[in-house]
Chain A
Amino acid sequence: MTAAPDGAPQEHPSWLWRNPDPKPSYDVVIIGAGGHGLATAYYLAAEHGITNVAVVERGWLAGGNMARNTTIIRSNYLWDASAGIYEHSLKLWEGLAEALDYDILFSQRGVLNLAHTLQDVREGIRRVNANRLNGIDAEWLDPQQVADVCPIVDISPDTRYPVLGATYQPRGGIAKHDHVAWAFARAADAMGVDLVQNCEVTGIDVDRGRVAGLRTSRGPITAGKVALCAAGHSSVLAGMAGLRLPIQSHPLQALVSELLEPVHPCVVMSNAVHVYVSQAHKGELVMGAGVDAYISYAQRGSVHTIERQMSAALELFPIFARAHVLRTWAGIVDVSPDASPILGLTPVEHLYINCGWGTGGFKATPGAGSVYAHTIASDAPHPLNAPFSLERFTTGALVDEHGAAAVAH
């Protein structure tokens, strides 16, 4: 170590958040203390001065998809609407540790999206061109340039999935998921938001088309506004308010390996072969698999999904054949028909919805939180989430991101 930091880090605070019982009434109740829920609470308090807020959580803080994702952050989506919201999010990521005064291990090590077919190449280049027009740092790399960025990728042409090129976003990267959640939780709590754990919502009361309150395992709560933020469980919750959502809940699996010396410098994703790989600071490989086909709320998937993913991963990274898988798990992702999120108002007055992020919600955590807070506070969508309304499935104004988001984050 060469440059020692000037001064030892301050000790950790004695507590990070309170563990309050729910009050009988709040201005806003957010359902789901995952990353999005906690971020929404934070921005409601920090940017809109709304602090009489509860985040109710069935289990423990950030124990759902937030604890289960592969932490990839990028903004290189195809359509203007997507680019807008994801780039907004990426800009927030870039100042988030400072804003929240909490380390989130944000590492902008660059994200490669590999192309294996001519179709991938065309889609990749189309996305790069669109990204650049949207002010997003995107590059198209040929196979040799891919190897320059990530020397361990096999770019030889005789593999089953030859690398024909890649899109590259240098500002993309990873962050430590748990820290992100805890950072938002701590900051929200400090401004007076109640984080209520072990509190399962059992009913949503609607009175003459307007949300009135919640019934929970810890008693009824009246609420001026209710904001759903429950990812894979959104359909069940929306059903309590009489809504049917155009989303389906599927298992999404991921895994980590045992620790390896640093060998993988960036994030590599490959939609065509259902793989994404990064190496965390500690040394473990973090890999995501594809979505299992069937609907499930079980937080488990099928091994063949992982087998197929590993088969493709080792074609790209033969170096990892001898690495050991330490742990696999699954989250429940909520997939929308156009692979884009649903974020905005609902037909029930003062009931708001944030769901449909599919496999890619983590990267949107601060961005979604900030525009969702705006939507809740002003009872109208922010320009950045206006295109992602529930209504678009009736008006037909879809934002098809299957190319950029179908599988990978």
Chain B
Amino acid sequence: MLSVPCPWCGPRDETEFSYGGQAHVAHPAEPDALSDHEWSDYLFVRDNPRGPFAERWCHSAGCRRWFNAVRDTVTHSFLAVYRIGDPVPEIS
């Protein structure tokens, strides 16, 4: 059971959250300009790293806010939590 550090409510059990997958995958500003491969990448391909991963969470049974987090996919520890729209923090 992860303890997810909601930036608005504090750490809460994972069961209160829904998972949003990779962060910083914005809907393309000009979808028409994309090639088939670029569009397919946007639609289907996500990073799947072993280690730190910037991902989205929504505190769906709490404040219902989306936020970003960097979590290590091996240790499961949260290395950073930050607002949507902010850049990925440097992880030392």
Q: What is A's interface to B at a CB cutoff of 8 Å?
A: 233, 235-236, 244-249, 293-298, 302-304, 337, 393-394
B32 to chain A, nearest CB (A): 17
Contact B21 A248 (CB under 8 A): yes
A240 to chain B, nearest CB (A): 12
Most chain A C-beta atoms within 10 Å of own C-beta, residue among B18, B50, B75: B50
With A294-B2, A295-B53, A298-B74: A245-B40 Cβ-Cβ less than 8 Å: no
B10 at the A/B interface (Cβ < 8 Å)?
A: no
A293-B19, A304-B1 known; 8 other A-B pairs, CB under 8 Å? Answer: A245-B45, A249-B48, A249-B73, A295-B73, A296-B73, A297-B74, A393-B45, A394-B40
With A303-B1, A304-B14: A295-B48 Cβ-Cβ less than 8 Å: yes
Q: Which among A235, A293, A294, A393 is the interface contact of B71 at CB below 8 angstroms?
A: A294
Q: What is B's interface to A at a CB cutoff of 8 Å?
A: 1-2, 13-15, 18-19, 21, 36-37, 40-41, 43-50, 53, 55, 71, 73-76
CA gap between A337 and B2 in the complex, in Å: 25
CA gap between A395 and B35 in the complex, in Å: 12
CA gap between A236 and B50 in the complex, in Å: 7
Can you offer 18 A-B residue contacts whose CB atoms are under 8 A? A233-B50, A235-B47, A235-B48, A244-B41, A245-B48, A246-B46, A293-B18, A294-B14, A296-B73, A296-B76, A297-B73, A297-B74, A298-B75, A302-B1, A303-B1, A304-B15, A337-B44, A393-B44
A294 to chain B, nearest CB (A): 5
With A294-B55, A295-B55: A246-B73 Cβ-Cβ less than 8 Å: no
Q: With a CB–CB cut-off of 8 A, which chain A residues contact B15?
A: 304
The chain B residue with its CB closest to the CB of A299 is B74
CA gap between A194 and B36 in the complex, in Å: 41
CA gap between A408 and B45 in the complex, in Å: 23
Q: With a CB–CB cut-off of 8 A, which chain A residues contact B37?
A: 394
Q: With a CB–CB cut-off of 8 A, which chain A residues contact B47?
A: 235, 244
Contact A393 B40 (CB under 8 A): yes
CA gap between A244 and B46 in the complex, in Å: 8
Q: With a CB–CB cut-off of 8 A, which chain B residues contact A235?
A: 47-50
